[in-house]
Amino acid sequence: MWSDGGGGVRDAAAERAELGYGGLLEEVGPSEDGEEGGEAETGAIMRARQQLVLRLLRACPIPFLGLASLHMDSQQLQADVARVLSCPAVKELPLPAGYAVQLLKVVMRSVERSGDAVDEDMYSCMGAAMSRAADAPAFRHYVMMARPRISLVCQEATAFVTQGTTGLRTWPAALQFVGWARRHKADVMAPWSGRRSRGSDAAWSGDENAHARADGANSCGDVQDSADNDAEHKADGNVQAKAPLAGPPVTVLELGCGTGLLSMALAKLWPGTRVIATDRSAEALARCAANCRFNGIRLEGEDDGDMERQQREEKGVIEQEAQQGLGEEAHHEAEERGRDNGGTDAEDWGMSTLKHGQEAQQQQQQQQQQQQQRLSCVRVQQLDWTQVSSSSDEEREADVLVGADIVFDPSVVPSLVRVIAKALRGQRQATRVKRAAYICSTIRNPDTYATFLAAIREAGLQYTQLCTDADGDASDLVDDTTCPIILCRIQPASQ
């Protein structure tokens, strides 16, 4: 079943078979009552209900659920809440117990104020939530509906600080970053020839197509426009974007990975990349590794069993098993044909069909092997910014640096900027993309962020603001927007 830390985690494919996010969301359709208002009202109700389900799955803070603005009847609200809390996903990997209890109390009070009766399902869910220990393992389910559609399960702490670190929970800036990365792979992975490209002066305004046109054809095999990107993905399931072409993998290094949500998302959104998730906290690294295994993401240095989990996660195993059954099906069909024809030419027909099945199976296996080579892997590694020396080579491997919610303490800003500067200026052979650091920050204290920007300038680095949570690129995963979130790109001034 569930395992904390490393080892012994259930096969991710078995978990995914039970989670059924797609089925859960499909059940959230327009109510019969909503149809009286016409198609527009029905569509609005359906979208509102789907958003509620997605927010509940990730344990969105109750004040940000928007329950008062849903405009749905109390019976429908109770049904949707109960459906989420009792679905296989949440029963297997439960939301924080305290969150579930508080949510049910709020919903029950709302129902009682409306004069309706509280459903039995509500009491059943309350009993299940209250029976769990307050410190029991808690999970959040991040289901991203926009293409490419991916979902991630994260075990997270419920307290702001746990075991002396803030890295055991996911913070809003990481979610904002994921939303941006989903749309801008072509910007980050633009090919780098060692000289300034024609499009390097273009404003990073969120127009991915403009940068694709300015920088030319992408040698990494990226999808160049949103229409092609949509066509590249299936309508349901966890689907990875098109993988890079053959060559040395682009290495992305995350500073302060915490739960690993950003590293895991990039491994899925940017397949073929090599992701290095770093943190100073050993507890955070253990949590990151465990979450990777939960999501079937291959950890660098582990055996092929973890790769198989990744393959099954992407549903490749389903196609492979179907092909494996083709030979047996052909054999039975040959026997039936032989009986119908009195045995005439049955053997020749059967051998031909079996050969076709074997060839198809071999082709499928080759495709699976190619898929293995394309899939991203994650390496979990300890990195203390204050201990990085001029001779160390942790960041020398990185083509791209990323970080989310790592600018929060003025005392660590000098060390952080030194690490960024060293990585961007280090010598690395076969660099395929423009070296840059992408840092997403929640601005809780403007003075701290101003200190960070000043240190960037003093280090001779160039800062460009890419987007904020108020822009169109704001992630639909971000619930708490009480503090502004800014994503910036940092590069050497000469690049």
Evaluate whether residue 183 is within a structural domain.
Answer: yes
Band (pLDDT 50/70/90 cuts) for residue 59 is very high
CA 394 to CA 380: how far, in whole Å?
Answer: 12
229 and 251 fall within a common domain = yes
Count of domains forming the chain: 3
In this structure, is residue 128 part of a structural domain?
A: yes
- Residue 12 reports pLDDT greater than 50: no
**Which H/E stretch holds residue 382?**
strand 377-382
The C-alpha R_g of the chain, in whole angstroms, comes to: 25
List Cβ neighbours of 407 (8 Å cut-off, separation of 6 or more): 413, 416, 439, 441, 448, 449, 452
Based on the fold, state whether residues 383 and 411 are members of the same structural domain: yes
27, exposed or middle or buried, with CB in 10 Å at 0-12, 13-18, 19+? middle
- Sorted by sequence, the CB contacts under 8 Å of residue 327 that are 6+ apart come out as 354, 357, 358, 361
Average pLDDT, the chain: 73
Return d(Cα 106, Cα 62) in angstroms, integer.
9
**185 & 206 share domain:** yes
pLDDT score, position 303 = 65
- For the stretch 385-441, pLDDT in tens is 988 765 455 556 789 999 999 999 999 999 999 999 999 987 665 556 788 999 999
In this structure, of 44-58, 143-157, 301-315, 412-426, the range with the lowest mean pLDDT score is 301-315
pLDDT, greater one: 8 or 363: 363
Q: What is the DSSP string of 346-368?
A: HHHHHHHHHHHHHHHHHHHHHHH
Angle at 432 between CA 428 and CA 435, to 5 degrees: 65
CB atoms within 10 A of CB 61: 11
pLDDT per position as a tens digit, 306-361: 545 544 543 343 334 334 444 444 445 545 555 555 555 555 655 666 666 667 77
One domain for residues 209 and 320? no
Domain with 457 in it: what CATH number?
A: 3.40.50.150
Domain containing residue 414: 157-306+375-492
Assess whether pLDDT exceeds 60 at residue 130: yes
Note the pLDDT of residue 389: 66
Q: Is the pLDDT of residue 80 over 70?
A: yes
Please indicate, yes or no, whether residues 54 and 113 belong to a single structural domain of this protein: yes
> Do 267 and 127 belong to one domain?
no
148 within some domain: no
Kindly state whether residues 41 and 73 are assigned to the same domain. Answer: yes
Shared domain check, 419 and 275: yes
The verdict on 410 and 293 lying in the same domain is: yes
Specify whether 344 is located in the same domain as 417.
Answer: no
Q: Are 68 and 207 part of one and the same domain?
A: no
- State CA 124 to chain mean position distance: 32
In a domain, 101, yes or no: yes
